């Protein structure tokens, strides 16, 4: 595959990834509304809230994990395009699949040894704004779960059946697990530097393979990496 063909392919993949991360939560919430309307017609209003709440929170939790994986893919591809395919290329182009193999192998080896703290290479003043859309996606997941939890707690206060109380408690626990993971792992400010992190990993992995273009050796990021390597 030629460089231009690869660039077009990766840009299309970026568009598809962004499309998926927006469409899926909206689809889940829309389907929930339709299901809730249908079930409540049968006079099982309370039990429908409880069962649907559990299912929706579980789906949103799984979808948010899927979204994070897509966001990381977007960051990895964006950084690759920046370093390999833009007019001023920093790294030797060997094709996406070959490059990704080096990237993942480096990640696996260094996640075990923890040789690098990527934060020390990141300039916070130059973070790209292309990941800012994630904040909207985050709150599309986060706010409905808060509203659902409020509804379930309200319904729980009026329940007398053991099975309904049990399902409500399980749903509330799942909801708080969801909120905890959102705040701890999925919050927007934690994803803001993903492209820059991916860029650093590309640079580190290809520096170890000695596939950096010599004309870029004086770049500030390489100076930081070299300094970090010499101190280890």
Predicted confidence (pLDDT) per residue in 96-154, tens digit: 888 888 888 888 877 644 555 666 666 665 555 656 788 889 999 999 999 999 988 88
Which residue has better confidence, 55 or 3?
55
Helices (H), the chain: 3-40, 45-80, 96-113, 134-156, 162-181, 188-191, 194-208, 220-230
Which residue has better confidence, 182 or 201?
182
Burial of residue 140, with CB atoms counted within 10 A of its CB: 0-12 exposed, 13-18 middle, 19 or more buried: buried
Which residue has better confidence, 121 or 172?
172
pTM of the full predicted structure? 0.77
Residue 212 phi, psi (nearest 5) = -90, 140
pLDDT digits (tens, 9 = 90+) for 70-105: 998 988 998 888 888 876 666 778 888 888 888 888
Q: Note the pLDDT of residue 218.
A: 41
Please tell me the least confidently modeled range out of 62-66, 101-105, 152-156, 210-214.
Answer: 210-214
Q: What is the percentage of the chain residues whose pLDDT exceeds 70? A: 75
Mean pLDDT over all residues of the chain?
79
User: What is the chain's alpha carbon radius of gyration, rounded to the nearest angstrom?
Assistant: 23
Quick one: DSSP state of residue 41? Answer: T
Task: Please say whether the beta carbons of 82 and 199 come within 8 A.
Answer: yes
Task: Please say whether the beta carbons of 216 and 91 come within 8 A.
Answer: no
Q: Note the pLDDT of residue 147.
A: 92
Task: Please say whether the beta carbons of 175 and 57 come within 8 A.
Answer: yes
Q: Note the pLDDT of residue 62.
A: 94
Which residue has better confidence, 196 or 66?
66
Q: Note the pLDDT of residue 61.
A: 94
Task: Please say whether the beta carbons of 202 and 118 come within 8 A.
Answer: no
Which letter, b or e, does each residue of 145-168 get, where b requires 16 or more Cβ atoms within 10 Å of its Cβ? Answer: beebbeebeebbeebeeeebeebb
Quick one: DSSP state of residue 216? Answer: G
């Amino acid at each position: 595959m030629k460089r231009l063909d690869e660039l077009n392919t990766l840009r299309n993949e970026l568009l598809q990834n962004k499309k998926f991360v927006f469409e899926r939560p909206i689809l889940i919430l829309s389907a929930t509304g339709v299901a809730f309307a249908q079930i409540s017609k049968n006079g099982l209003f309370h039990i429908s809230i409880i069962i649907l709440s559990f299912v929706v929170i579980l789906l949103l939790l799984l979808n948010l994990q899927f979204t994070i994986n897509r966001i990381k893919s977007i960051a990895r591809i964006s950084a690759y395009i920046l370093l390999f395919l833009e007019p001023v290329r920093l790294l030797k182009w060997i094709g996406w699949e070959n490059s990704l193999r080096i990237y993942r192998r480096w990640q696996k080896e260094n996640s075990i040894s923890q040789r690098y703290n990527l934060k020390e290479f990141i300039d916070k003043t130059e973070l790209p704004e292309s990941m800012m859309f994630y904040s909207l996606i985050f709150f599309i997941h986060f706010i409905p779960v808060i509203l659902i939890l409020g509804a379930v707690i309200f319904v729980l206060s009026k329940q007398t059946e053991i099975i309904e109380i049990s399902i409500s408690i399980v749903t509330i626990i799942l909801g708080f697990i969801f909120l905890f993971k959102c705040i701890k792992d999925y919050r927007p400010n934690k994803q803001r530097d993903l492209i820059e992190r991916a860029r650093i990993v590309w640079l580190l992995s290809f520096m170890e393979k000695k596939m950096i273009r010599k004309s870029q050796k004086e770049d500030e990021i390489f100076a930081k990496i070299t300094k970090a390597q010499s101190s280890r």
